[in-house]
């Protein structure tokens, strides 16, 4: 299969994307997928009819349909941890029974959502003015990204997010808050994560110092109810969820509480509805008409077939500023692996490096490299056709024009002949030639665009579910378990062992020269 795709890759090396449009007037429509009012356009890539056929064969070969159904049905598809993967159940509260180990999880999903709503209403109606979510990774990035994305829908208290164990993070946040009117949400699936527990203890100490009873100001979101209660969170303020909710897939349930408090339960339900709509589409559409499948296949084409090591996520939607960070965890923690589900070495590269920034800011930072650098970076543009600021439509028109201009420029480029014409009036002879060369754009650089009417809660839900399923499809094709994360363990173990050496409670022993030198530097710099 991969060999077949490599043959296609060799064939398209000489093809120009612009020429594909000239040869096929229907290309834009044929190489796009729509779901309701959302359009994913991948026509500005080198994928043609034949290579798309070969890509679609990948998902058939991997028996995607069966594996997808097994996920939705609650089978333990996270095989290294023996767990089901059911974040989809969280966004389908009215759905039929889903059995995990013979037990229907849906009554618990409905009860969990009802408890979240009761608590959210209570907090929104109280004297709480600031909500601080303390969590990291999946217990932070989802709600932090979504709270920012849905700012126009905020009608609750201010939300802050503290994740880093660097004391600067919590110190700067506490400086904005009044202990009398601040609520802390300790969000941790395991309730053992060192960063989160350290920050939670600091928050507790801050409350106590100012005479506030922490019990009255703490909420916990966790799979480990006992640990949350032991931490001093009253039982009715602990919201639990099953181990079948992966950390980076958890914003649809209790981990989304801060979002629900910010935008209100009705808007949160709209967010769930959006996710569910994408699930239904993913389960029913044929590969070529299936948005998550095609998004995944375009990703595989660029990373695994053509060998492009990174992909840029470029939301021309400032409120999606945290989306690249969110997707870094979602994609790289899920598919950044070297071993297939069966323990064998992966036959092709694992998932690419994901990075990005909102447009137009990125244009004034790293787009130079994307346009003229020696490496090719496939770009994923995202764009809302409308903004939320009717009085600032001229801003939005400029935003749209810039987004479309970038994908056009990446594809078209500028030839040496055109560059010569640009500088002809200013230079002549050798200097003209030299100046012209600097103004050449190779072009033929791939990009996709996801366009939607407006970034409302339902649309955000569709976008997040779209990317989740993209990760799933890529994982299935690569043979990866997208739902474990063993690669984060070693660093955690070593940090625990290093802690006493940093503080001087243990001698510096058994460390390499570099680590020893760095520890000594810290010691020389004064008390920790």
Cα separation, 379 vs 77, whole angstroms: 31
List the structure tokens of 471. 């990760």
Residue placing its CB nearer to ligand F6P in the complex, 100 or 220: 220
CB of 250 to ligand F6P, least distance (A): 7
CB of 194 to ligand F6P, least distance (A): 9
> Which has the closest alpha carbon to 281: 67, 26, 68, 55?
68
Degrees to nearest 5, angle at CA 279 with 36 and 255: 115
Q: Give the binding range for ligand F6P (CB under 6 A) out of 20-28, 188-196, 267-275, 379-387.
A: 188-196
From the list 133, 173, 188, 459, which residue makes contact with ligand F6P (rule: CB under 6 A)? 188
Residue labelled with tokens 């979002």: 259
Cα separation, 426 vs 404, whole angstroms: 30
Residue placing its CB nearer to ligand F6P in the complex, 138 or 351: 138
Residue placing its CB nearer to ligand F6P in the complex, 255 or 272: 255
Q: Do 150 and 320 meet the contact criterion of CB atoms below 8 Å apart?
A: no
List the structure tokens of 293. 């499948």
Any contact of residue 328 with ligand F6P (CB under 6 A)?
no
Any contact of residue 91 with ligand F6P (CB under 6 A)?
no
Q: Do 13 and 414 meet the contact criterion of CB atoms below 8 Å apart?
A: no
Total residues contacting ligand F6P by CB under 6 A comes to 14
From the list 8, 87, 189, 204, which residue makes contact with ligand F6P (rule: CB under 6 A)? 189
Q: Do 334 and 471 meet the contact criterion of CB atoms below 8 Å apart?
A: yes
Cα separation, 70 vs 68, whole angstroms: 5
From the list 217, 248, 371, 445, which residue makes contact with ligand F6P (rule: CB under 6 A)? 248
CB of 385 to ligand F6P, least distance (A): 33
Cα separation, 129 vs 178, whole angstroms: 8
CA distances 321 to 2, 252, 313, 514, Å, are: 35, 20, 10, 36
Q: Give the binding range for ligand F6P (CB under 6 A) out of 89-97, 184-192, 345-353, 434-442.
A: 184-192
CB of 240 to ligand F6P, least distance (A): 13
Residue placing its CB nearer to ligand F6P in the complex, 454 or 498: 498
Residue placing its CB nearer to ligand F6P in the complex, 143 or 352: 143
Any contact of residue 193 with ligand F6P (CB under 6 A)?
yes
Residue labelled with tokens 């040869």: 23
Q: Give the binding range for ligand F6P (CB under 6 A) out of 87-95, 142-150, 172-180, 185-193.
A: 185-193
> Which has the closest alpha carbon to 459: 385, 358, 362, 353?
385
From the list 182, 258, 334, 485, which residue makes contact with ligand F6P (rule: CB under 6 A)? 485
From the list 136, 297, 376, 383, which residue makes contact with ligand F6P (rule: CB under 6 A)? 136
Q: Do 168 and 205 meet the contact criterion of CB atoms below 8 Å apart?
A: no
Q: Give the binding range for ligand F6P (CB under 6 A) out of 10-18, 88-96, 190-198, 259-267.
A: 190-198
Residue placing its CB nearer to ligand F6P in the complex, 434 or 492: 492
Catalytic residue IDs:
333, 364, 492
Q: Give the binding range for ligand F6P (CB under 6 A) out of 126-134, 169-177, 186-194, 407-415.
A: 186-194
CB of 331 to ligand F6P, least distance (A): 13
Pairing of strands 218-222, 238-240: parallel
Residue placing its CB nearer to ligand F6P in the complex, 363 or 482: 482
Cα separation, 28 vs 43, whole angstroms: 5
Q: Do 505 and 498 meet the contact criterion of CB atoms below 8 Å apart?
A: no
CB of 488 to ligand F6P, least distance (A): 4
Any contact of residue 488 with ligand F6P (CB under 6 A)?
yes
Peptide bond between residue 51 and the one before it cis (omega within 30 degrees of 0): no
Q: Which residues contact 154 (CB under 8 A, 6 or more apart)?
A: 147, 262, 263
CA terminus-to-terminus distance, the chain = 56
CB of 135 to ligand F6P, least distance (A): 6
Residue placing its CB nearer to ligand F6P in the complex, 92 or 196: 196
CA distances 394 to 4, 62, 390, 391, Å, are: 48, 47, 9, 8
Any contact of residue 482 with ligand F6P (CB under 6 A)?
no
Please give the distance of CA 304 from its chain centroid, rounded to a whole number: 20
Per-residue binding string, ligand F6P, 137-166, x by CB under 6 A, is xxx---------------------------
Q: Contact residues for ligand F6P (CB under 6 A)? A: 136-139, 188-190, 193, 196, 247-248, 333, 485, 488
């Amino acid at each position: 299969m991969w060999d077949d795709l490599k043959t296609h890759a060799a064939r398209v090396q000489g093809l120009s994307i612009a020429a594909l449009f000239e040869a096929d007037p229907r290309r834009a429509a044929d190489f796009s997928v729509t779901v309701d009012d959302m359009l994913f356009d991948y026509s500005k890539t080198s994928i043609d009819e034949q290579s798309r056929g070969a890509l679609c064969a990948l998902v058939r070969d991997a028996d995607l349909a069966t594996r997808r159904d097994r996920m939705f049905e609650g089978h333990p598809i996270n095989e290294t941890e023996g767990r089901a993967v059911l974040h989809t159940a969280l966004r389908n509260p009215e759905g039929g029974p889903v059995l995990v180990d013979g037990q229907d999880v849906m009554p618990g999903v409905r009860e969990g959502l009802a408890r979240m709503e009761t608590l959210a209403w209570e907090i929104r109606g109280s004297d709480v003015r600031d909500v601080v979510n303390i969590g990291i990774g999946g217990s932070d990035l989802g709600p932090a990204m979504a709270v920012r994305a849905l700012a126009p829908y905020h009608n609750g208290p201010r939300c802050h997010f503290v994740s880093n164990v660097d004391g600067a993070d919590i110190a700067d946040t506490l400086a904005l808050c009044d202990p009398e009117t601040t609520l802390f949400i300790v969000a941790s699936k395991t309730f053992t994560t060192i960063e989160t527990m350290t920050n939670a203890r600091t928050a507790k100490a801050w409350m106590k110092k100012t005479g506030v009873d922490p019990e009255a100001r703490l909420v916990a979101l966790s799979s480990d109810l006992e640990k949350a209660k032991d931490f001093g969170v009253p039982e009715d303020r602990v919201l639990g969820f099953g181990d079948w909710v992966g950390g980076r897939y958890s914003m649809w349930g209790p981990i989304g509480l801060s979002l629900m408090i910010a935008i209100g339960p009705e808007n949160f339900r709209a967010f769930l509805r959006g996710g569910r709509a994408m699930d239904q589409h993913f389960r029913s559409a044929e590969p070529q008409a299936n948005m998550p499948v095609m998004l995944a296949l375009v990703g595989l084409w660029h990373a695994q077939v053509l060998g492009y090591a990174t992909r840029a996520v470029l939301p021309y939607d400032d409120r999606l500023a945290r989306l690249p960070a969110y997707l870094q965890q979602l994609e790289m923690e899920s598919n950044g692996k070297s071993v297939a589900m069966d323990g064998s070495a992966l036959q092709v590269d694992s998932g690419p490096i994901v990075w990005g920034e909102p447009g137009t800011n990125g244009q004034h930072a790293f787009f130079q490299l994307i346009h003229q650098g020696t490496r090719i970076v496939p770009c994923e543009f995202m764009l809302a056709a409308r903004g939320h600021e009717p009085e600032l439509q001229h801003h939005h028109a400029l935003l749209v024009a810039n987004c479309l201009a970038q994908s056009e420029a990446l594809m078209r480029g500028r030839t040496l002949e055109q560059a010569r014409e640009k500088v002809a009036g200013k230079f002549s002879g050798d200097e003209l030639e030299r100046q012209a060369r600097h103004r050449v754009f190779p072009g033929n650089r791939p990009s996709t665009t996801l366009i939607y009417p407006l970034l409302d809660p339902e649309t955000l839900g569709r976008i997040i579910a779209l990317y989740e399923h993209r990760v799933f499809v890529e994982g299935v094709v690569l043979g990866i378990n997208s739902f474990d994360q063993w690669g984060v363990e070693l660093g955690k173990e070593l940090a625990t062992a290093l802690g006493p050496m940093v503080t001087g409670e243990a001698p510096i022993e058994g460390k390499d020269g570099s680590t020893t030198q760095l520890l000594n530097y810290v010691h020389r710099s004064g008390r920790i």
